[in-house]
């Protein structure tokens, strides 16, 4: 119920210096130097962080919580994600979605899994849809899903410029974004459409057509996987400088077997160096999704699984190897996500925000994690487990 964290070197994401944080009922109630907190008859859990860095819990806006994949056959479908896999990655908020397979992976299953993870201790939201167009929904309509179902913030992931997309008419893409925008307006949600972008030569051209031929703003579209290949990153830089928002995928990198990809930390540095507004850059993991490998003829020749732990790794590398300031790159996985998706309680360390806090040791390893005020990871190890993880133990 009540926790006092002492001597935290706070990046909120802006640096606040070494201060104390008082948590009450899952919310940050006070921040200050040498806080004196006393509540008659109430025990307050106290932790001394001895000057370690404390950042907002990471917000991963693209996670296959019910599993993904299947491009190599039924045996290549990835399993559902487990709670401790998320928390030990420093993540406190996930956005679940479907991908290539919108047949055996269903919207009701996605919603149920998101609700289960929320019951187990983290914050969850979902998108309505999958790669294909027309896309699967819960109510039969993207607009209605966003309006009527609390956890649905937008639509996705809708595939463009990819051999796995439905290759629909341009107007169908535009209609999806229009439905998401109106549904978001009527329910005070973001109404963002997450667009999976393949390595096809069309790149972001379908999104530019929507901007050019409608009144829909850039804030309703988020192209992801923009670092998957060089020409797409070039296109994304131009798109973001025009006013768009772009999403780097931390799980797509030469280090993870995607040889044509640009390392995410390097992509962040280049976007900033090219003059892309810092608040238009996001990064997600594609966590728990499959990472199929195709030959030059489009045949699947291998598969891997994206790991959420790449978020912290690429954040670290952007600072230590690319020379970026932590306060500049930290928003790509915290406050930029919260702002675009209209989640004012998330993404920052401030009074009134949810107590989602990640503690880092000197080697950038996760030391502790609080999600909504509950300690989930201690000394780098999970101490709260999902329901069926408990049975395994």
One-character DSSP codes across 289-333: -B--EE-TTS-EEE--B--TTHHHHHHHHHHHTT---HHHHGGGG
36 annotated active-site: no
d(CA 62, CA 134): 21
Residues 341 and 348: beta-carbon distance below 8 Å: no
Cα angle 144, 122, 40; round to 5: 120
Instruction: Tell me 288's DSSP state.
Output: T
Diameter over CA atoms, the chain? 71
Q: Output b/e per residue, 150-172; b: 16+ Cβ within 10 A.
A: ebbbbbbbbbbbbebbeebeeee
CB-based contacts of 100, cutoff 8 Å, min separation 6: 68, 69, 70, 71, 130, 131, 159, 164
Say which of 9, 199, 286, 354 is annotated catalytic.
286
- Token pair belonging to 136: 């699967």
CA dihedral in degrees (83, 85, 88, 92; nearest 10)? -50
Q: Say if residue 157 is preceded by a cis peptide, omega within 30 of 0.
A: yes
Residues 137 and 154: beta-carbon distance below 8 Å: no
How many residues belong to the chain?
Answer: 393
- Token pair belonging to 273: 């160096």
Catalytic residues: 286
């Amino acid at each position: 119920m009540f926790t006092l964290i002492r001597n935290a070197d706070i990046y909120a994401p802006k640096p606040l210096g070494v201060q104390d944080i008082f948590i009450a009922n899952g919310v940050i109630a006070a921040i200050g130097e040498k806080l004196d907190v006393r509540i008659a008859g109430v025990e307050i859990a106290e932790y001394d962080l001895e000057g370690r860095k404390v950042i907002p819990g990471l917000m991963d806006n693209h996670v296959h919580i019910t599993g993904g994949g299947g491009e190599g056959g039924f045996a290549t479908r990835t399993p559902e994600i487990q709670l401790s896999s998320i928390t030990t990655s420093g993540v406190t908020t996930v956005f679940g979605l479907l991908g290539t397979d919108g047949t055996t992976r269903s919207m009701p299953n996605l919603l149920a899994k998101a609700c289960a993870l929320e019951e187990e201790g983290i914050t969850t939201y979902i998108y309505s849809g999958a790669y294909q167009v027309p896309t699967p929904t819960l109510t039969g309509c993207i607009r209605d899903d966003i309006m009527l179902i609390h956890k649905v913030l937008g639509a996705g992931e809708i595939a463009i410029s990819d051999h796995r997309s439905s290759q629909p008419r341009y107007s169908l893409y535009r209609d999806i974004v229009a439905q998401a925008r109106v549904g978001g307006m009527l329910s005070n949600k973001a109404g963002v459409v997450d667009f999976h972008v393949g390595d096809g030569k069309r790149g972001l051209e379908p999104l530019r057509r929507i901007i050019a031929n409608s009144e829909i703003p850039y804030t309703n579209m988020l192209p992801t996987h923009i670092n998957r290949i060089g020409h797409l990153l070039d296109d994304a830089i131009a798109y973001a400088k025009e006013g768009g928002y772009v999403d780097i995928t931390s799980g797509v990198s030469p280090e993870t077997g995607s040889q044509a990809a640009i390392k995410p930390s390097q992509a962040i540095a280049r976007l900033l160096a090219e003059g892309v507004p810092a608040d238009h850059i996001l990064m997600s993991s594609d966590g728990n999704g499959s990472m199929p490998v195709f030959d030059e003829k489009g045949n699947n020749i291998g598969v891997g699984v994206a790991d959420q732990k790449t978020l912290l790794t690429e954040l670290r590398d952007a600072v230590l190897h690319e020379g970026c300031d932590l306060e500049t790159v930290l928003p790509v996985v915290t406050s930029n996500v919260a702002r675009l998706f209209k989640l004012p309680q998330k993404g920052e360390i401030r009074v009134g925000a949810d107590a989602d806090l990640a503690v880092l040791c000197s080697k950038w390893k996760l030391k502790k994690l609080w999600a909504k005020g509950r300690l989930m990871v201690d000394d780098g190890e999970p101490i709260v487990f999902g329901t069926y993880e408990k049975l395994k133990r």
